[in-house]
Amino acid sequence: MANFQATIHSRPLSPEFMTQARRPASTIQAVLTNLREKISLQSILPGARLTEEELVDNYSIPRAMAREVLAVLEDRGIVRRIPNKGAVVAHVDMQWVYHYYDAREALDGMMVRLAARQTRPEDWADLVEQFGEPFQKALETGDVDRLISLIETFRNRLQTAANNPVLSDLAERIHERIRVVRQRVVLLPGRAETMVADYRAVLAALARSDAEEAEQLMGILNRNNRAAIQKYERYVV
């Protein structure tokens, strides 16, 4: 699937990555989580090679596990296999990012509708509270990590509440493909402030068990994210 274009040039992993990664990791999920985070934050840059040998050495894992890690990353579109080069971190194709946001809007709409129908208002009380003063404080202090953490918490809760493994799998695949861009949306001029209002509106609808309004508001949230990326695309890639 040509959703990303990988560079034909190979680059070694950064010294920072080599130092931070060199620790035991007993599970495939632990290695994947660490690698996906570093790639999304561009601690590992697009075009960098990922070899089985480096993963074995840096994460103290067997070669079979390293091979499986690379296979999962390739399946999710995070790395590409280049002839005579091996696995390299994929470059972001912005046109495909916009396609993914269109698909995500549809998936999120279904997910939030199911979540509203299958939960009680009190099930969202803690998130409503977290997206109140804590979210506002993180915004005012510029605590981007906290903002992203709260958004991740909301989306994880949404998937759990929707209770649809097919939707969850599709949503996770899209999440992986746009993660490097999505992490930066909160940094775009003015978007963090409007994002607060968007998430609070969705949560308020969920707390009222209003499935139709929650779906509409989730669509607005995703379209606002997409519009911000289009407006400030040069800051994203």
Q: What is the pLDDT of residue 18?
A: 43
Q: How far apart are CA 213 and CA 200, in angstroms?
A: 13
pLDDT for res 19: 44
Specify the pTM: 0.69
For 94-236, the fitting CATH number among 1.20.140.10, 1.20.120.530, 3.40.50.1110, 1.10.3720.10 is 1.20.120.530
- Each domain of the chain, given as residue ranges in start order, spans 4-91, 94-236
Residue 6 has what pLDDT? 37
Give me the CATH topology for the region 4-91: Arc Repressor Mutant, subunit A (1.10.10)
Q: Would 4-91 and 94-236 be classified into the same CATH topology?
A: no
Report the pLDDT averaged over residues 140-156. 87
User: Of 226, 186, 156, 178, whose CA–CA distance to 78 is shortest?
Assistant: 178
The answer to whether the CB of 95 falls within 8 A of the CB of 3 is no
